[in-house]
Amino acid sequence: MTAPERLRALLAKPGFVVMPAVWDGLSAKLSAEAGFETAFLSGSCVAASRLGGPDLDLLSFGEMLDSLQMARGAAPNTLVLADGDHGYGNAMNVQRTVGAYGRVGAAAILIEDKVTPRALTANGKPCLPREEAQIKIRAAVAAAKETGILVMARTDCRPTLGIEEALARIEMYVAEGADILFLDSPADDDEIRRAVAAAAGRPSFAVLSPGAPRATPSQADAARLGLKIGTFPTGLISPVAAGIKAGLAALREGKSEAALALPPAELRETLGYNAYDAQARTL
């Protein structure tokens, strides 16, 4: 089975799917070794790791594709749902992005309806007119036929245009053939339920990391509300940042490493030195 076929089969099974948010080879490898069958290649995590900055539409198509290839190389059996942001341009750019992600083995791709480039000081998430957003998702679905990659359609219009428009867009994306639906920034559980209903039986995705102005139910509550997939963009990157800060503080204090550092033998095992040696001896 191809990666999209495997993901489609997984989503057809009962149960809530937790997708760790990854950004490179190490994060993808460790997620796979921890037993996670799927992962979300998160634009915010890639921005943090590659740019050392915020997720404000600064990443390029090439940078995201390179990060996808790193994750796929380190965890080839992981089903990656990859963030395609706004497709990096118009509907024709969307088709190029969907095709490229599919050819390197992504199981699914996210395409959103935000305006890009964003105004330098814009509040909220200004979104494309409905008709332009529709054409982008139509283009994505058409391009997906080449590889079978699943298309996740995301609407960001809830904060700026309201829940009714957001629900209308989800219904429109379903009609255009999107495989997975994503309402960003729901205000409460009722809006989540309404978005799940608008998806008309197709899987619904949610960001469940705390701290942003949106409803973030627990995994158990998300499943009860009808959500199928949850990802946690700060779940791995935040502890990583904390670990780097702890290591730097330890060096400033004259120490060799922070208290939470892995023992040398465990770090070598984690990074694959022993596996490399074992494989090399078979050649």
Q: What is the DSSP string of 231-277?
A: EEHHHHHHHHHHHHHHHHHHHHTT-SS-TTPPPHHHHHHHHTHHHHH
Tokens matching residue 38: 């799927």
**pLDDT over 80 at 260, yes or no:** yes
pLDDT given for residue 117 in this prediction? 81
Residue 17: DSSP 8-state = E
**pLDDT over 70 at 270, yes or no:** yes
Rounded to the nearest 5°, which phi and psi values hold at 60? -105, 165
pLDDT given for residue 122 in this prediction? 58
**pLDDT over 90 at 268, yes or no:** yes
pLDDT given for residue 168 in this prediction? 98
pLDDT given for residue 150 in this prediction? 99
Please state the rounded mean pLDDT for residues 7-23: 98
**pLDDT over 70 at 121, yes or no:** no
Give domain 3-233's CATH superfamily.
Answer: Phosphoenolpyruvate-binding domains (3.20.20.60)
Count of other CB atoms within 10 angstroms of residue 219: 13
Burial 159-187 (b: 16+ CB within 10 A, else e): bbbebeebbbbbebbbebbbbbbbbbbbe
Q: Which residue has the higher pLDDT, 119 or 215?
A: 215
pLDDT band at 119 (very low <50, low <70, confident <90, very high): confident
Please state the rounded mean pLDDT for residues 87-100: 98
156 burial (CB, 10 Å; 0-12 / 13-18 / 19+) is buried
Residue ranges of domains in the chain: 3-233, 242-280
